[in-house]
Structure 1
Amino acid sequence: MIELHDLTKRFGDKTAVDGLSFQVRQGVITGFLGPNGAGKSTTMRLILDLDRPTSGRVTIDGKHYGQLSEPLKYIGALLEAKAVHPGRTAYDHLLWLAQSNRIPTRRVDEMLALVGLTEVARKRSRGFSLGMGQRLGIASALLGDPRIVMFDEPVNGLDPEGILWIRNLMKRLAAEGRTVFVSSHLMSEMAVTADHLVVIGRGRLLADLPMAAFIERNSRSAVRLRTPQPEQLLDALAGRSIPVEPGPDGSFEVVNGDPAVLGDLAAAHGIALHELSRQRASLEEAFMRMTADSVEYHAGGVPHANGHTAPAGVGAPATWGASWQPPAGRRQKKQQKGAN
């Protein structure tokens, strides 16, 4: 188990981690979420004693990391996959880690096979792709057969097969009773991987609860109805004083509605329903709602012709419609070019 007790880290006048207290329990995959700059990487570095806390403490199985005589047998971590000497081969990188922690040499070949790097084991890491570097980092984390595994953005650079592989690997490790602590910005991947969530913003704890509870508490629940008899449906709902909101494609939504009650109401009035479905928020929607006030780095926007703002990097002609015109200077250059 990893335990944080009122952990704080300041860099000058910047507080990166602010009084964090939580536990990472064994046998489950705990997702570690937060906006950019929230303090996730700093927290992981504090766990591994790569940074010293300003105050508070963190323990691994009741001990400080520095008290672990062979730390790779307790906790394996992937924080920066490219933290490998570029002139060292994959095999030699794992070999020196094994020797430094009195890990049997046979584990080197086993881990290379596990992550699919056997064929490039004797190649220097400077030529590795991002995905290959990730696999080598995962092999390093698992080398000591640790009881605790900690991954920071483990799917970076992996192809779809690799993403499925690391997802199943983490689930298997948790099923074996190990502690799995993983940070990622990919909400869709975290939604199908994590059992429990720890969410931080601006260095402070925002949530520490199971995945389903997190989504339920931070999302809008509604029942969607679609019918070829919209006026009759609206009258029936009004008769029961049930508020309704317009939904997409001509549908209607009842916030916090009960599908059984709404279905019975429609049937009682002879109203045909083409859709009656409970709408559940995604992890991404729940996360954005919770962390809206904790985002430190906001992406800039490009103003629309109609005064709205488009996401930065969105092509103007594709999103602004046919009415969009390039600035005057560009129009003149294009007209001159056409004339020539």
Structure 2
Amino acid sequence: MIELEGLTKRYGEKVAVNNLTFTVRPGIVTGFLGPNGAGKSTTMRMMLGLDRPTAGDVRIDGKHYDRLKDPLKYIGALLDAKAMHGGRSAFNHLLCLAQSNGIPRARVDEVLDTVGLTAVAKKKAKGFSLGMGQRLGIAGALLGDPRILMFDEPVNGLDPEGIHWIRNLMKSLAAQGRTVFVSSHLMSEMALTADHLVVIGQGRLLADTSMAEFIEQNSRSYVRIRSPQRERLLDVLHGAGITVVETGSGALEVDGGKPEHIGELAAQHQIVLHELSPQQASLEEAFMQLTAESVEYHAHTDPPQEQQPWGDGWKGN
């Protein structure tokens, strides 16, 4: 597991990571979310000993990263797929990593096959596409058969087949009892992959909870109902003390209601229902709701106003 306690990183007056405390546990995929500039990359770099904390502590299976012997056997990471010698072949890049960590040569062939790069093993990495480079980076993370894996934007550059593959790979690794920690901006993909979420904003911890609880706590859930006997249904629901929101589309919405209870009421009064469906926000909507005040960089959809080269009193010729 990965344990952070009071982890803090300052660059001058800028606080990039502010007193983070959380634990990444084995057996599940933990998603790491936050707006741009939230401190995710800095946090992951400190986990791997690439940046030194200003304060606090981070341990990998109870040890500091720099105290791990043959660290690739403890933790494998993909932080930057371009962090490799472009003049080396894929095989030789992995072989160098293996030799530096006491990993058998045969393991290089195994991970190349796992990530689908066996056919290009002898080709130089500088000629790889973004997706191929990403697969090679993932191979490097898997090389030591570690109990802990960290991935930063693992689907970057992958085609749909590759995205499906890495999603199932991460789930499989977690099912084996390994610790899997993944950061991504693709909310739709994270929703399909992660079991647990750690969310930060402006360097501070905003949430450390299960995927289901995160969405429930940070979004509106309701039951949508459609019926050809709309007015009668409204009377029945109001009579049962249920607050109903009428929408312009003709549907009715009940906040926090149970569809089973509403269905039973309708059946008791012989009201036909064309729709009775529980609705919940997506991970993206819940994330936007929670982090709205933590976004550092705001873009605008309105085009800038054309600037005039004169003041109000200038008349021109």
TM-score by length of 1: 0.87
- The aligned residue for residue 263 of structure 1 is 263
- The aligned residue for residue 136 of structure 1 is 136
Give 1:239 shift.
2.6
Which whole-Å CA distance do the structure 2 matches of 1:126 and 1:300 have between them? Answer: 37
Instruction: Report if the CA contact (8 A) 1:72-1:141 is conserved.
Output: yes
- The aligned residue for residue 287 of structure 1 is 287
- The aligned residue for residue 89 of structure 1 is 89
Instruction: Report if the CA contact (8 A) 1:224-1:247 is conserved.
Output: no
Listed one character per residue, the Cα deviations across residues 304-334 of structure 1 (whole Å, up to 9, x for unaligned) are xxxxxxxx9xxxxxxxxxxxxxx9xxxxxxx
- The aligned residue for residue 321 of structure 1 is none
- The aligned residue for residue 218 of structure 1 is 218
Which whole-Å CA distance do the structure 1 matches of 2:259 and 2:27 have between them? Answer: 35
In structure 1, runs of 5+ residues without a counterpart are: 304-311, 313-326, 328-340
Is 2:14 the counterpart of 1:14?
A: yes
Give 1:266 shift.
2.2
Which whole-Å CA distance do the structure 1 matches of 2:199 and 2:221 have between them? Answer: 21
Which whole-Å CA distance do the structure 2 matches of 1:240 and 1:246 have between them? Answer: 17
Amino acid at match of 1:239: G
Which whole-Å CA distance do the structure 2 matches of 1:248 and 1:239 have between them? Answer: 22
Listed one character per residue, the Cα deviations across residues 231-278 of structure 1 (whole Å, up to 9, x for unaligned) are 222222233332211346321100001212222222333321100111
Instruction: Report if the CA contact (8 A) 1:33-1:199 is conserved.
Output: yes
1:193-204 → structure 2 map (5 Å cutoff): 193-204=193-204
The CA RMSD measured in Å over matched residues stands at 1.5
Which whole-Å CA distance do the structure 2 matches of 1:266 and 1:175 have between them? Answer: 43
Amino acid at match of 1:156: N
Which whole-Å CA distance do the structure 1 matches of 2:170 and 2:122 have between them? Answer: 27
- The aligned residue for residue 298 of structure 1 is 298
Moved over 3 A (4+): none
Task: Give 3-state SS (helix, strand or coil) of 1:192's partner.
Answer: helix
Q: How many percent identity over aligned positions?
A: 71
Paired positions, count: 305
Which whole-Å CA distance do the structure 1 matches of 2:132 and 2:247 have between them? Answer: 45
Amino acid at match of 1:282: S
Which whole-Å CA distance do the structure 1 matches of 2:53 and 2:138 have between them? Answer: 26
Which whole-Å CA distance do the structure 1 matches of 2:208 and 2:247 have between them? Answer: 32
- The aligned residue for residue 158 of structure 2 is 158
- The aligned residue for residue 111 of structure 1 is 111
Which whole-Å CA distance do the structure 2 matches of 1:300 and 1:260 have between them? Answer: 43
- The aligned residue for residue 315 of structure 1 is none
Give 1:83 shift.
0.8
Instruction: Report if the CA contact (8 A) 1:219-1:285 is conserved.
Output: yes
Instruction: Report if the CA contact (8 A) 1:29-1:193 is conserved.
Output: yes
Which whole-Å CA distance do the structure 1 matches of 2:140 and 2:270 have between them? Answer: 64
Give 1:46 shift.
0.4
Which whole-Å CA distance do the structure 2 matches of 1:242 and 1:148 have between them? Answer: 49
- The aligned residue for residue 169 of structure 1 is 169
- The aligned residue for residue 311 of structure 2 is none
Task: Give 3-state SS (helix, strand or coil) of 2:57's partner.
Answer: strand
- The aligned residue for residue 76 of structure 2 is 76
Which whole-Å CA distance do the structure 1 matches of 2:229 and 2:183 have between them? Answer: 47
Which whole-Å CA distance do the structure 1 matches of 2:76 and 2:27 have between them? Answer: 16
- The aligned residue for residue 250 of structure 1 is 250
Task: Give 3-state SS (helix, strand or coil) of 2:302's partner.
Answer: strand
Of residues 244-253 and 58-67 in structure 1, the stretch that sits farther from structure 2 once superposed is 244-253
Task: Give 3-state SS (helix, strand or coil) of 1:163's partner.
Answer: helix
- The aligned residue for residue 57 of structure 1 is 57
TM-score by length of 2: 0.93
Is 2:98 the counterpart of 1:98?
A: yes
Of residues 161-170 and 279-288 in structure 1, the stretch that sits farther from structure 2 once superposed is 279-288
Task: Give 3-state SS (helix, strand or coil) of 1:173's partner.
Answer: helix
Task: Give 3-state SS (helix, strand or coil) of 1:44's partner.
Answer: helix
Which whole-Å CA distance do the structure 2 matches of 1:257 and 1:31 have between them? Answer: 30
- The aligned residue for residue 192 of structure 2 is 192
Task: Give 3-state SS (helix, strand or coil) of 1:17's partner.
Answer: strand
Amino acid at match of 2:155: V
